[in-house]
A and B are shown apart, each in its own frame.
Chain A
Amino acid sequence: SAVISQKPSRDICQRGTSLTIQCQVDSQVTMMFWYRQQPGQSLTLIATANQGSEATYESGFVIDKFPISRPNLTFSTLTVSNMSPEDSSIYLCSVERDREIAEAFFGQGTRLTVV
């Protein structure tokens, strides 16, 4: 298993500002994943972060809005930039123990409210 620490657990931010979410894993992992979970909706993959390379973004998500860092094999950050109320959501980081079956471990999530 993997233990994932994510912070902050929640925040209320003013529109136009940026928030950086941190994700720390207790073991080295190749890939880390960032998801968004909007109320009543499924988890949506934002991007995949590999150490030492640019993150790979899913359709509808761009680096300017959601820059990601992956400085080493146990840590990643996701920044939500120039926030608007539509960015209010839960953001989750995740790792997989087995690439084939994709058993995922999640952090506790960051509940973001933009006012």
Chain B
Amino acid sequence: SQKIEQNSEALNIQEGKTATLTCNYTNYSPAYLQWYRQDPGRGPVFLLLIRENEKEKRKERLKVTFDTTLKQSLFHITASQPADSATYLCALVPRSTGGYQKVTFGTGTKLQVIP
């Protein structure tokens, strides 16, 4: 069965360092991989999307890599700030079949940036 794995343990890093979060998946061939941010008591907020034929995508301090051979995506936040503290979810989007795309979400990794 399809499975998405993210580190269930919280990631604590020092302010200013680069945070790296991992998303691994099995039994899946996604067309897209998404990353979301979720703050306590709020719904997830879309951050970045990377396509299956892309290796890397950047947006400001965020960088996402996608290795379809390893079935892994890495999400990097450079120059991390306490305001980056949140739970980060990865999500996989299947190839379009004409209908809606059922998105599969990971459990998320909680990031804590320490001042």
Identify the A interface with B (CB < 8 A): 4, 6, 9, 31, 40-43, 45, 48, 92, 94, 96, 99-109, 111
Contacts and interface: CB of A to CB of B under 8 A. Distances in A.
Interface residues of B, number: 25
B108 A42 contact: yes
A77 B99 CA distance: 22
Contacts of A111: 41
B82 interface: no
Nearest to B90: A42
Nearest to B98: A99
Contacts of A9: 41
B44 to A, nearest CB: 5
Contacts of A104: 34, 36, 44, 46, 91, 103
**What are the 7 tightest A-B residue pairs by CB atom distance, in nearest-first order?**
A106-B43, A43-B105, A102-B101, A42-B105, A42-B107, A102-B93, A102-B103
A105 B43 CA distance: 8
Contacts of B108: 42
B64 interface: no
Interface in B60-115: 89, 91, 93, 96, 100-108
Given A92-B43, A103-B34, 9 more contacts: A4-B43, A6-B43, A9-B41, A42-B104, A42-B107, A92-B44, A101-B49, A105-B46, A109-B42
Nearest to A103: B46
A106 B76 CA distance: 23
Contact of B43 (A41, A45, A109): A109
Contact of A99 (B43, B89, B101): B101
Contacts of A4: 43
